[in-house]
Structure 1
Amino acid sequence: MKVKAAVARAPEADFTIEELEIDEPREDEILVRVVGVGLCHTDLVFKATSTIAPPAVFGHEGSGIVEKVGSAVKKVACGDRVAITFRSCGECARCKEGLPAYCHTMPMLNYAGMRPDGSKALHCGSEDVASNFFGQSSFATHCITYERNVVKVPEDFPLELAGPLGCGIQTGAGGIMNSLACKRGSSLLVLGGGAVGLSAVMGAVIQGCETIIVLEPHEERRKLALELGATHALDPVKAKDLPAAIREILPIGVDYAFDTTGIPELLQATMGCLAPHGTLGIVGIAPPGTPVPGDLMSVVTFGHTVKGIIEGDSDPDKFIPEMIELHRQGKLPFDRLVKTYPLDDINRAIADQHDGKCVKVVLLTGQD
Structure 2
Amino acid sequence: MASDNIKFLENFIGRDWLNAEFDKINTKSPLKGAGIDFASYHPWVHFMYEIEYLLRRSDVENREDVIMGRYHYILNNAGMLLKDNFNYIVDKKDAQMKLRSPEQFYDFIWELEVRTMLSRRGACADFVDPKSGNTYDGIAIILDHSIPYECKNKIIDNNQYNNNSVFSQILANKLGDIPSVQNKIIQIEFENGRLEDIKTIVAIVRDKFDIFNYQSILGRYKIRTLKLPIDTPPQYLINREGINQIFQVNERRKSELYLDKAPSDVVKTKILIKMPEQVFKLHNLNGVLKKANAQLSTGGIVFLQVPYSTFESAKTEVAKELSQCFSNISAVKLIALGIEFYENKGVKISRSEDLIVSPRGKIALLPKEIEFLSQPMAFSKYAWKS
Decide: shared fold, TM above 0.5: no
| Structure 1 length-normalised TM | 0.25
Which one has the bigger helix percentage? Answer: 2
Computing the radius of gyration from Cα coordinates, the structure with the larger value is 2
